[in-house]
Amino acid sequence: MAYETVRAAGIRALFSAMFDAVQWRLLLFWLMLLGLPTAVVAIPLWYTLGGMLDHSVHATAWAQQFDPLMFGDMVRGMAPHAAWLGGTAVLALLLTLMLLPFLDGMIVGSGRARHALGFSMLLQNGLVEYGRMSRIMLWSLLPYLAAVLLAASALHLARQHASLAVLESQASMGLRLARWTAVVLFVLAQAVVESSRAAFIADTGLRSATRALGRGFRQVWQRPFRTLLFYLLVTGLGLLMAGSLGFVRMHVRAAGSDLWLALVLSQLIVLTLGWMRVARLFALAKVARLLSRGRRAGSLPPSL
């Protein structure tokens, strides 16, 4: 009976987190701010492609249907511009890394308030939490680096096993196992990092990024099932919705009367990924609050 009660509470907490993540002001900031690095890449690329294709007699046909021959010629024609296009891509990546802590600070502020914040409060929380979210981003390199090293070791061992295997099925099985190991390690690393960010939502008095990372490790260790379940369900749902929108977008021509529909679908994909990020942090913060209450009570329920 107690187990059913705990499970029902966990399901309610998960759905509550996903519902609370639907905050139009927060998602609008996500769309606008991440549009800046996109524009850094897209505008130079747009002008480059325009110089190559705008004056072609086949431009209308190419806009309506993909032409592999045209695509090959276009790639070869862009080769002289590869250096500065690569530079804009690096600049966009750096800008994204600078903006993400600001967005994470907005999410933390909204999660602490437990209600939708106005534009000014979102901006204030983004600025106040920027330093801590930046430090968390730097500390997150540790679990990701550990995951990469362990995954590389697993792949190296799998290749050694494949070189000694008698049957091809034995070699391929080892490589598949190594790839799945790499996926599991990445999921664990990201669950730790996201739980570290969620710790700032669960504990309003937390100020240290180092302690937050420690709490992220402890949450995954002490609540592995619920932490990974919430992480995987929210991530899976978000990717499913974004993938469905992407599939529809692939079948809509970005030309003529369908141009605006294609643009709306593209922005909906970005908003869906933003909702996934917010909902994931809110859900993991609920697990962190449960863990904190258990510590204050002096005993922990079974690891759920």
pLDDT (0 to 100) of residue 85: 77
Tokens of 180: 């799945």
Say if residues 285 and 213 touch (Cβ distance below 8 Å).
no
DSSP 8-state class, residue 203: -
- Separation of alpha carbons 97 and 99, rounded Å: 6
pLDDT (0 to 100) of residue 88: 87
pLDDT (0 to 100) of residue 2: 44
- Separation of alpha carbons 85 and 51, rounded Å: 15
Measured over the CA atoms of residue 253, residue 254, residue 259 and residue 264, the dihedral's sign is positive
pLDDT (0 to 100) of residue 51: 72
Angle in degrees, 0-180, between the axes of helices 259-297 and 82-113, rounded to the nearest 10: 50
* Series of mean pLDDT values for 10-residue runs along the chain (304 residues): 53 88 95 93 80 67 66 70 80 95 96 91 95 95 95 88 69 84 95 96 91 94 93 96 94 76 92 96 92 61 50
pLDDT (0 to 100) of residue 301: 52
Q: Is 192 exposed, middle or buried (0-12, 13-18, 19+ CB in 10 A)?
A: buried
Give the number of residues written for the chain: 304
Long-range contacts formed by 149-152: CB under 8 A, 24+ apart: 150/181, 150/185, 151/178, 151/181, 151/182, 151/185, 151/186
* Per-residue CA distances from 79 to 54, 86, 101, 139 (Å): 18, 11, 34, 37
For the chain, give every domain's residue range.
2-297
- Separation of alpha carbons 52 and 16, rounded Å: 50
pLDDT (0 to 100) of residue 159: 84
* Residue among 115, 145, 291 at smallest CA distance from 219: 291
